[in-house]
Amino acid sequence: MSHNKGAYEELRALRRRAGTLGSVGSLLNWDQETYMPPAAAGHRAEQSALLAGLVHERLTDPRVGELLAACEADAAIRADAAASANVREMRRDYDRETRLPKDLVEEIARVGSQSQEAWKEARAKDDFPMFAPWLGKMVGLMRRKAECLGVPRGGESYDALMDEYEPGATAKMIEGVFTPLRARLSTFIGEAAGKGRQPDVAPLGVKIDPARQHEFGLQVLGTMGFDLGAGRLDVTTHPFCSGMAPGDTRLTTRYRDEKFTDALYGTMHEAGHGLYEQGLPKGEYFGEPLGEAVSLGMHESQSRLWENFVGRSREFWAWALPRTRGTLGLKGSVEDYFRATNTAMPTFIRVEADEATYNLHVMLRFELERGLIGGTLAVNDVPGEWNKAVETYLGLRVPDNRRGCLQDVHWSFGLFGYFPTYTLGNLYAAQLWEAYTAKEPGFASAIERGEWLGLRDWLRATVHVHGRRFPAAELCKRATGKELSADPLMRHLERKLRPILGI
Amino acid sequence: MSHNKGAYEELRALRRRAGTLGSVGSLLNWDQETYMPPAAAGHRAEQSALLAGLVHERLTDPRVGELLAACEADAAIRADAAASANVREMRRDYDRETRLPKDLVEEIARVGSQSQEAWKEARAKDDFPMFAPWLGKMVGLMRRKAECLGVPRGGESYDALMDEYEPGATAKMIEGVFTPLRARLSTFIGEAAGKGRQPDVAPLGVKIDPARQHEFGLQVLGTMGFDLGAGRLDVTTHPFCSGMAPGDTRLTTRYRDEKFTDALYGTMHEAGHGLYEQGLPKGEYFGEPLGEAVSLGMHESQSRLWENFVGRSREFWAWALPRTRGTLGLKGSVEDYFRATNTAMPTFIRVEADEATYNLHVMLRFELERGLIGGTLAVNDVPGEWNKAVETYLGLRVPDNRRGCLQDVHWSFGLFGYFPTYTLGNLYAAQLWEAYTAKEPGFASAIERGEWLGLRDWLRATVHVHGRRFPAAELCKRATGKELSADPLMRHLERKLRPILGI
C-alpha cells in the first residue's frame, strides 16, 4: 500500500478506541437489565448518556473525516477489497453520526435508560398511562433524530431511522414485502383455523424448576457450539443478546414455571444471535465495520434459524427428549413435542408466537410505529390502535396492555424501525436453511445425533466472518445463490405445518 | 456567597462528571470479579485503562486548577464550613492527581486488570512463579507512582502510596502503632496458647448448601439495615464491597460447604463497608469529597464493627440460632457458637483469622510490602520471606502459597500501603464500639432482639454523613471524645476472650 497505510491504520485505531468505549456502554445496558439495583436507575441514565456522548465525540472527531478522505483518495486502499469495504462502511457511519448533535445522542441515551425503567414498572403494573409520557418523549426524540439524519427524497422520516438497523431499507420496500406476505400467511392461517386441527399443547404444561431449565439451556448452548468461556446466560425481563466485546457475548432469557419451551426457544434464539457475535472477526476488527454485523435482519436470521429450523424440528425433540426425561420430567413422545411446538394459532405475545403467526405481530408493530414517527398516530391512541390491529391481524381481543402494547421493550429506548428486521430475519433464515440443507441433506439426522456444529460452521463461513464487507442483500445472494424471496419461508411453513394440522 | 459561587458550582459539576465516569470504571471492576467471562479479560484491561485515563483527564483538567484557585481566594467560601472542606479536599486530590502522568494511570489500570486474572489462576493452581512477573510489574509501577507523587521529606516511597488510603499516615507512624500493639497481642496469644483452652470449633463444621447460606446472609443484611433495593450480594473469589454509585452499593462474599461462618462474617464485614457507602451523602455530593469516605482505616472500622463486635457476640448467636435451626441445621447452643467463633488461635488465612490473631497477619504484610516498595525485598523472595514471617508472627509453617503469599488479591492490582488500614480499622472500631455502648448500654440486648439499627444510625450520624469533611483523626475524636488508642481494642479482646479461654 501507499504512504496512506498510515492513515488507514490511524483510522482503524480511532474506531477501535471508540468501540472500546462503546463496549463499556453495552456493559452498562446489560447490567441495567440483569443485576443493577433499582435505586441505581437515575445514576445509570447519567452514566449511559455520558458514555454515549463520548462515543459520539470519537466517531465524529474531525480527524476521522480527514483520514477517511485520505483513504478514499488512496488507490492502494481502493484496490484492497477488505480495506475498501471497511473504509466505505466507516464513511457511512461517519456521515450518519456527524449529522447528529451530541446533546441529542446523550439525551436519547439518558431518556432511553429512564424510560426502560418506566416501561418495566408499567408493564408489571399493566399501567399504560405511566409509560405514555416516556413513549411520547422517545417518539419526539426519534422524530428529531430522523430530521437530523435527513429524510431521503421521496421517503419518510421512518426510513432515516430504519436505515440504522437495515441499511438501505425503506418503509415502502418493507410494505412491498409485507403486503403479499401477509396475504399468504393469512390465507394459510385461515385455512388452518377452518379445516385444520391444532395440535395438543398439553405436553408443554409441565411445571419445571427454573434451575433445571437453566441446566438444560446450557446443554443446548454447548451443543450449538456457543462458547460459554466467552459468554454467559442470565435472566431478564426481556431476553436479549449483547455481543458487547471481544470474548464477551452475553445472552439472557426468562423462565416461567410452566411452558418451559418459552425459555428454551428464547435461549436458542439469543444463542443464534450470540453465535453471530462470536463468529465476527473481532480479534482483528473489533470496533470496525468488518468486525460488525451487517444488518439486524441478517442478525435475526441467525437467531430464527436455531430457534425455529433446528429447535422446532422433529429431530430436535428426538435429541432432546432422551436427555431430559429424568431432569425435566417430560411425559410425551417426540411426536407430541414436535406437534405441540408447531401450532398455527394466534396468540398475544410476539416472542412466544408460533412460526405461522409470528410475522403478523411484526407487521402490526411496523404499521403503528410508522404512524408514530410519521405523526399520524398519537401516543395516547396506541393501546386502542394496537388492540384494533391485533383483532384485524390475529382475530384476538387483547385483554390487557401487558399482553398488548406494553409487551415489548423496544420503543422504550428508541428502537423504531427495528421491528421489520424481525420478519426480514425470518425470510433470510428460511432461505439460508434451504441452501444449507440442500448442500447437506443429512443435517436433519445430524440434529438428532446432537451434531449441530456443521450449521454453525457454515453460517460462520458464509455470513459471520464477512462482517459488513458485503451489503446484506449481496451476502444473502452469495450464501444462497438467490435474491431474497418469501418463497422459502412459505414452503417451509406449508411443508412442516400442513401434515401437523391435517390440511 | 460572592460571585465565585459560580466557580464553586462549576468545580462541583466537573467533579460529579469525573465521578460518573469513575463509577463506570467501578462497574468494570465489579463485573470482572463477578460475572465477566474469562475470555473477556484481555479487552477488559483495555476498557479499564481507557476509563482510568478519562477520569484522570477530567480530574487534572487545568480548568479545575483555575476554579480551585478562585474558590480558595473567595472569603465567602472560606467562611462556609462545608464548602471550604470540600475545596480543601479537592485541592488535595488535584495536587496528587496532577503529579501522575496519564500513561502511568492507564498502565496501572491495564496491568492491574491483567494481573488480577493472573493472580486468580496462580492462586487456584498454587503457582507463585506464574504470578511473580505480574507482581514484579506492579511493584515497578507503584515505585514509579511513588516517585511521581513525591516522597515526603524524611519519609519513604511507601508513604506516598499509603497517603492515598490513609491521608497523612506514614510508615513510621504505622510502625509506631504496630510495634507496641504486636507486643501486647503476642503476650496475650502466648498466654492463651500456654494456659488457655481453645474453644471447640466442631459446631462450625456443618455442611450447608450455599443457597441457604445466601438466604441467611440476606436476612442478616436486612437486620443490619443494608438497603438491598440500592445494593446487591454476589459471589467472588475475594470478597469486597463496591460503593460504585448513588443507589448502587454491591457486596460480594464466597461460600464454602463447610465452616459457614466464613461467608457469614465475610458478608457482615462487607455490609459494614456497604452501610458506610449507603450512608455517605451521595445524593448531594456524589463525586465530591463530602460524598466520599474519609479514609480506608475508617472504612475498615465500619466493617469490623459489624463483623466482630456485633457478629462475634453472644447476643448475635442468641438472635441467629433460633432463626436458623431449621434452615441451616445447626446443632450446638448459643454458648457453643459464641465460643467457637472466638478463638485466639493462629491460622493461615487473614480473612478467616480470629480477632486476637488478625492484626498479626496485617503486620507481616506491612513489613513485606514496605520492603517491596523500598527495594529491600525482591519479588522472588516473597514466598520465603512470607513463610518466615508467618513462623515468627504466628508460629505456623505455611504449607503452600495458596495459604501463604497468594491468598490476598490486593498486590495484584497495586494496593500497596493499604494493608495497614485494616489494623487501624480494628482500632477505630473498638474505640467507636466503646463510645456507642457507653452511650447505649442496652445495645447488647438489642442485638439479641434483632434491633440493630441504633448502631447503624449512630454511625451514620457520627461518621457517614460527614464524608471527608474532617480528617479521620478528628472524626474519631468527635465521635468518641478521644484520640485514637489501642487500649479499647485490647480491653475488648481481654474482656471477651479471657473467660472463653479460661485465662
Q: Which of A31, A35, A221 to mutate to test the interface with B (most CBs of B within 10 A)?
A: A35
**Could you give the angle at which helices B472-480 and B296-304 cross, rounded to 10 degrees?**
40
Is the Cβ of B42 closer than 8 Å to some Cβ of chain A? yes
Cα(B246)–Cα(A354) distance, integer angstroms: 43
Interchain pair A40, B248: CB under 8 A? yes
Is A270 labeled as catalytic in the residue annotation? yes
pTM of the predicted model as reported, rounded to 2 decimal places: 0.95
Q: What radius of gyration, in Å, describes the C-alpha atoms of chain A?
A: 22
The C-alpha cell at A355 is 412460526
Catalytic residue among A156, A270, A277, A434: A270
Task: Flag whether residue A46 sits within 8 Å of chain B, measured between CB atoms.
Answer: yes
Distance from CA of A248 to the nearest CA of B (A): 5
With CB atoms and an 8 Å threshold, state whether A246 touches B42. Answer: yes
Q: Encode B238-271: b = buried (16+ Cβ within 10 Å), e = exposed.
A: bbbbbbbbbbbbbbbbbbeeebbbbbbbbbbbbb
Percentage of the residues of chain B whose pLDDT score is greater than 70: 99
Q: For B286-303, what is each residue's pLDDT tens digit?
A: 999 999 999 999 999 999
Compare CB distances from A248 to B40, B227, B229 and report the shortest one's residue. B40
Interchain contact B48–A (C-beta under 8 A): no
| 3-class state of residue A342 by DSSP | coil
pLDDT-above-70 percentage for chain A: 99
Surface of B (258-317) touching A: CB under 8 A: 286
Residue B364 has pLDDT above 70, yes or no: yes
The answer to whether the Cβ–Cβ distance between A286 and B43 falls below 8 Å is yes
- Alpha-helical segments (H) within B35-101: 41-59, 62-72, 75-79, 81-98
B44 Cα to chain A: minimum distance (Å): 9
- Whether residue B346 has pLDDT greater than 50: yes
Chain A hits for B250, CB-CB cut-off 8 Å, are 37
**Cα of A75 to nearest chain B Cα, Å:** 33
Could you tell me which chain A residue has the CA closest to the CA of B43?
A246
pLDDT tens digit sequence for A307-365:
999 999 999 999 999 999 888 989 899 999 999 999 999 999 999 899 999 999 999 99
* pLDDT-wise least confident of A2-11, B187-196, B358-367: A2-11
**Does A50 reach chain B within 8 Å, measured CB to CB?**
yes
Backbone angles phi, psi at B397, to 5 degrees: -100, 120
Verify whether the Cβ–Cβ distance B41 to A228 is below 8 Å.
no
User: Does B218 lie at the interface with A, CB-CB under 8 angstroms?
Assistant: no
Min Cα separation A331/chain B (Å): 29
B36:A286 CB<8 A: no
Determine which of A26, A29, A30, A46 to mutate to test the interface with B (most B C-beta atoms within 10 Å).
Answer: A46
Q: Do B20 and A50 touch (CB under 8 A)?
A: yes
Q: What sign does the dihedral B348-B351-B355-B361 (CA atoms) show? A: positive
Query: For B138-150, b where at least 16 C-beta lie within 10 A, e where not — what string?
Result: bbebbbbbbeebe
Question: In terms of Cα–Cα distance, which of B366, B367, B346, B365 is closest to B355?
Answer: B346
Mutation for A interface: B30, B32, B44, B250, most A CBs within 10 A:
B44
Q: For A253-299, what is each residue's pLDDT tens digit?
A: 999 888 999 999 999 999 999 999 999 999 999 999 999 999 999 99
Residue B229 in contact with partner chain A when CB distance is under 8 A: yes
Instruction: Give me B17's grid cell.
Output: 462528571
User: Would you list the DSSP string of B4-17?
Assistant: THHHHHHHHHHHHH
Residues 176 through 215 of chain B touching chain A, CB cutoff 8 Å: none
Mutate which of A15, A16, A24 to test chain B, going by most B C-beta atoms within 10 A?
A24
* Integer Cα distance of A23 and A17 in angstroms: 10
Q: Give this complex's ipTM.
A: 0.94
User: Chain B contact for A47, CB < 8 A?
Assistant: yes
pLDDT confidence tier of residue B121, bands split at 50, 70 and 90: very high
Return the residue matching grid coordinates 385444520. Answer: A196
Report residue A203's pLDDT band, with 50, 70 and 90 as the boundaries: very high
**Percent composition of chain A: helix, strand, coil (DSSP 3-state, to 5):** 70, 5, 25
Alpha helices in A73-127 (DSSP H): 75-79, 81-98, 102-125
Q: Is the pLDDT of residue A41 over 60?
A: yes
Query: pLDDT digits over B185-209, tens only?
Result: 999 999 999 999 999 999 999 999 9
Convert the pLDDT of each residue in B138-154 to its tens digit. Answer: 999 999 999 999 998 89
* pLDDT score at B46: 96
Q: A409 — contact with chain B (CB < 8 Å)?
A: no
Indicate whether A1 pLDDT > 60. Answer: no
Q: For position A4, what pLDDT does the model report?
A: 61
On the question of pLDDT at B38 being above 80, the answer is yes
Structure confidence by residue, pLDDT tens digits, B422-475: 999 999 999 999 999 999 999 999 999 999 999 999 999 999 999 999 999 999
